[in-house]
């Protein structure tokens, strides 16, 4: 495990992301992708964390390609990063590439010591 700096974009990660053109840009519509097998590492204990990441957005000109999103999320597998930070980082990276009209990223993490946690971050106003 290496500790990951959540405050700036990691080029090796964002280069994994691919966008494709939205065929219906005139319409405000909602796309939701749920990744059920997210895992990273707790930077404090070195123990693996597990969670479900849900990415919801109203596209503008671009949509995210699913396979590239899978590789991007897998790139956190051996990174040491807190719940709050990884969710903010994913939002910022996806907003940077897609410039969506609205986006929300939610992480629901499995229990640690009898406590389970959810972090939800959003960008823009949901016009849908």
Active-site residues: which are they?
A: 42, 49
**Contact (Cβ atoms closer than 8 angstroms) between residue 123 and residue 91:** yes
62 binds a second copy (CB under 8 A): no
Cβ burial of 23 (10 Å; 0-12, 13-18, 19+) is exposed
Residue 120 to residue 34: CA distance in whole angstroms = 13
66 binds a second copy (CB under 8 A): yes
For residues 2 and 67, which CB has a smaller minimum distance to a second copy in the complex? 67
Residues 71-110 that bind a second copy (CB under 8 A): 74, 77-78, 84-85, 87-88, 110
Strands 102-112 and 48-58 turn out to be antiparallel
Give the interface with a second copy as residue ranges (CB under 8 A). 6-7, 22-24, 27, 29-37, 39, 44, 47-48, 50, 59, 63, 66-67, 69-70, 74, 77-78, 84-85, 87-88, 110-122, 128
């Amino acid at each position: 495990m290496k500790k990951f700096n959540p405050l700036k974009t990691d080029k090796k990660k964002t280069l994994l992301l691919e966008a494709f053109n939205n065929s219906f840009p005139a319409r405000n519509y909602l796309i939701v992708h749920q990744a059920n097998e997210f895992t990273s590492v707790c930077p404090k204990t070195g123990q693996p964390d597990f969670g479900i990441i849900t990415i919801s957005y109203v596209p503008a000109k671009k949509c995210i390609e699913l396979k590239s999103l899978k590789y991007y999320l897998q790139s956190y597998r051996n990174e040491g990063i807190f719940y709050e930070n990884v969710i903010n980082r994913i939002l910022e990276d996806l907003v940077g590439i897609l410039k969506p009209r609205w986006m929300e990223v939610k992480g629901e993490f499995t229990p640690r010591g009898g406590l389970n946690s959810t972090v939800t971050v959003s960008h823009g106003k949901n016009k849908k």
